Amino acid sequence: MRRIPNGVYTLRMRADGRPTFEYLSPRACLMLGYDHDAVLADADLGFAGLHPEDLDDLYRANKTATRAGDPLSWEGRFVVDGSIRWIRLDAHQTVVPGGDVLWNGVVSDVTDRRLAQDELRDREQLYRLLNELAPNAITVSDLEGRIRMLNRPARQLFGEDEDADLVGRSVFDWVAPDSLELAQAKFLELFTVSRFQGLEFGFLRRDGSRFDGEADVSLVRDEQGRPRMVIIVASDLTQRRRLEGERLRLQKLEAIGTLAGGLAHDFNNLLQGVFGYISLARMKLEDPAAAAAMLAQAERASGQAVSLTSQLLTFAKGGKPQKKRLSLPAVVEGATHFALSGTSTVCALDAPAGLWDADADEGQIVQVVQNIVMNASQAMQQAGVVRIEMANLELPGGSDGALPAGGRFVVVRIADAGVGIAPSYLPRIFDPYFTTKQSGSGLGLATAWSIVKRHGGTISVTSEPGRGTTFEVLLPAAAAEADPTPAETPPGREVPGQRRLRVLVMDDEELIRSVAGAMIGSLGHTVDEAVDGREAVAMVERALAAGQPYDIVVLDLTVRGGMGGDEAIGLIRALAPGIRAVVSSGYSDSAVVAEFRAHGFDAFLNKPYTLEALHEVLVVSPAH
């Protein structure tokens, strides 16, 4: 019996239920880690190493076999020197006189077989998962990230050869260096959370090429909840991002189409008014009063076209803010009063003491407030209360999401109790020409968004259908110290009074030169024209040499293919330091326009301009 590779034993189960080992082979003691003499003296020690979770199972198996008179066959776990060993007991029973039962049995260590069975079961489970999840790229690793198996899509994703033996290689070999630290941290965290979805990493193919990918990672546990393996389902984000980019491009094209259609509609309507009233005025030339009335209507329609163009430029790229220190309560109150005139809507304004000044363009902020407040009033059928709250806000550096990166801001919240905005409309609320109203251009909120963005702030909206809408605007606060004293007119630069002036107009558009000359002439001044900055400089030089210097130069900011006013002003100032200079442009997204004094100009004239605006900039105000 000593030569038998397995352990053998004889156990007497007495009639009173007490067990006694009559024989226990050395092999059995070695297998179970027992002291031979101690177990013979106390049979209970023979079961001390039995895993607690398997104790009841052995008791039930023994009871069933005893009652039926059948052999006992049982497998379970024993703890031997701190390790789990799977042990099989096979025994036959013999009832002896007096009622005792003798169990003659064999003890076998089946740990290797059970581990192999577990491995086989795991593989079968994995193959089922692989078949279910294909064609995804699936890799299975052990608890240290070493590859145990992978499917064909995984080989294709990472550019591995079909017949390459990858078992034992680290999955981290596929991770790009800049993502390696994050990937390793998430792998360790997996043992706590068990699953991650949508992790984005930089991955490497076998040839070294990089791609952006996404991975769903799951920790697989056995029936006892112990970690067994890790399943990684990876995908290439390149195609998805290309499709997302295509979708965004189509959305932009749709928005541009909406914008173009709305723009054509609005301008055609306005031009119809202009052409119509001019035609009527031509028929009324014998009646000056009637002709003047018709021309006034044409001028009004032209003014609306100017306003529309201004909004479009502000939304597109133009309209660089001409910032100054601004006390918002008075500005907001004035803009709100204008926006609500003629309605039954009232405004409740709450501005705390100590509110910071904003660093902003007053005219543009008025436009923002008016557009939002008019929308709020319309949402309440022009009868209700628009509530406006203001507050100071200091954001730490590194703010994320929709908030600016950090700094001091003034918050303006405008809330109504109107019908609200449907959730499906919210993502498009700031798109140009997007509107759900029967009337309105759909440019108001798009313009507001563009203005606030160009100020370095943010604008956001929250809404609940049937409950109302709240817009929140964040504007950068002005510096804590007071603004420096405005620069005075430099010595030698005369501000002309009511006298006959000599004016030079430079513009590359013949129509602009012609109409500007006619308008200046109608004001009683003499005017010369130049097609670009180089010609203007030459004409200033000739006029000085002839003793007939110009009083004022009106320079177009940019000239296609030639010298514009921004370049010419330096040369003109070198010749005539005291000359009054006006920069003119229909597109105000320029540092020269925003800070015209710093660039050598005395005033800015925005195209298109009226006769009154031209008169003011020439003879009334040193800055316009």
Question: Tens digits of per-residue pLDDT, 78-87?
Answer: 999 888 999 9
Structure tokens at 84: 């789990």
Say what the pLDDT of residue 493 is. 42
Rounded percentage of the chain residues whose pLDDT exceeds 90: 44
User: How confident is residue 347, by pLDDT bands cut at 50, 70 and 90?
Assistant: very high
Q: Which domains does the chain have, with CATH numbers?
A: 7-109 (3.30.450.20), 115-240 (3.30.450.20), 324-476 (3.30.565.10), 502-620 (3.40.50.2300)
Which candidate, 531, 335, 591, 556, places its Cα nearest to that of 448?
Answer: 335
Q: From edge to edge, which strands make up the β-sheet containing 458-464? A: 346-350, 385-395, 407-416, 468-476, 458-464
- Interval 415-427: pLDDT, tens: 999 888 888 888 8
pLDDT at 407 over 90: no
Is residue 414 predicted with pLDDT exceeding 80? yes
Say yes or no to pLDDT of 129 above 70: no
Mean pLDDT in residue range 608-615: 85
| Predicted pLDDT at 488 | 45
> Rounded to 5 degrees, what angle do the CA atoms 82, 85, 88 make?
145
**Residue 484's pLDDT is what?**
46
What's the pLDDT band for 398 if we cut at 50, 70, 90? low
Tell me what pLDDT residue 255 has: 61
Number of H helices, E strands in the chain: 16, 22
Instruction: Quote the mean pLDDT of the chain.
Output: 84
Closest C-alpha to 618, from 530, 553, 549: 553
pTM, full prediction: 0.44
pLDDT confidence tier of residue 379, bands split at 50, 70 and 90: confident
How confident is the model at residue 440, as a pLDDT?
Answer: 54
Higher pLDDT, 450 or 105: 105
If we measure between CA atoms, which residue out of 176, 188, 177, 116 comes closest to residue 145?
188
Which DSSP helix (H) or strand (E) runs through 126?
Answer: helix 111-133
Q: Please, are residues 62 and 71 in contact by the beta-carbon 8 Å criterion?
A: no
What is the pLDDT at residue 4? 57
User: Across the strands, what pairs with 81?
Assistant: none
Q: What is the mean pLDDT of residues 430-442?
A: 64
Please determine, for residue 490, whether its predicted confidence score (pLDDT) is greater than 50: no
Pair 373, 338: CB distance under 8 Å: no
Q: What is the pLDDT of residue 486?
A: 45
pLDDT of residue 251: 63
The pLDDT value given to residue 613: 86
With cut-offs at 50, 70 and 90, classify the pLDDT of residue 233.
very high
pLDDT in the model for residue 555: 95
pLDDT average, residue stretch 220-242 = 88
What count of other Cβ atoms lies within 10 Å of the Cβ of residue 600? 18
pLDDT at 560 over 80: yes
